[in-house]
Structure 1
């Protein structure tokens, strides 16, 4: 990552006088964008989900009446598709994953506290305590990695389609309590195991699990936080 990319990312992260949104509505449930509110974030590559299946899912959701069921069904189905490894999976390349890791760590303890993270082949899970608006933080990660990926696309055979690496927007959920906090960390670290990429969370190199030096918790039934 060169100096110009670092400066660009810092400017994008700060934004011109932008403040956190607070409570706002997006999709089926309310969201909270607030400084120091712990946030579980997932963002994915542009081609990580098949368009025809997404359209079919939207049709199915229209048949459901419960708002809570809508969110739960949609999230569970999308997680299953992501873990199936659809699309170019550029983040599966070690060099691409390393740049993604560097982007996450770059503003740790400066713009946010990075609590847990996991880089999957076609998506990323992050748990942070933000000190800046959430959208600007996510955009900085995307900008740094997208510029690098598009420059290295042919050389490393990343198979990024067109000029678009990331899907617009991101999924976020604020942490409700200690139980939810622990559940989210476990979910993040177990994602590679759930997807069949390794046997134990600590065996996955592109995750904060390797820094914790503690044995993985006992296998539990997977839940979507």
Structure 2
């Protein structure tokens, strides 16, 4: 696919083509401004490519094709945690009892069951991001799209939420497309890492992550992890340097 802004000649994406298998976790890394977030918006149907298309294969049972998790949790400040998490289900006309029945197991898994009647200002940053994550899962999307959801968290909270995400995906498996600037995060979470060029963004390299699942955080300390990180950075470094000079 390809994408350019409506109001000018700026080409953001060029010849981007990749597939995501059932239950596969694909991470996108690339320099700032290379079109990673735009690519997620194209996948979500929020913007439309001027060339190419996005295909979803399989049965979706009336559930949304995609759900997005952003760096900003995006919770409505006037709604409780439960109402925020079930907002998408409410918009689909689902009864409150059924909405809460579906959401509660996920909230319990995320450690938020005691805070379902709390408001966002009463939560820590990590708890807000957990709520944003559960809001996406509860709609049961065909594909989960994630745009640097843990980038604003401190290192310890980030590791905890990365581990929680992997645990939730074991019980609620689905394809994930995940944007990050963090190579370590991409290797820890992903089955495959795609490296994008500077704008206009293209996929210039692809790396399979060899580590089995379930994947413990201790894998970060292995020589194999360090070797793969070095290979990815070798392909990414030139694009980062080029983009920084534009």
Taking structure 1 as the reference length, the TM-score comes to 0.24
Which has the higher Rg, Structure 1 or Structure 2? 2
Taking structure 2 as the reference length, the TM-score comes to 0.23
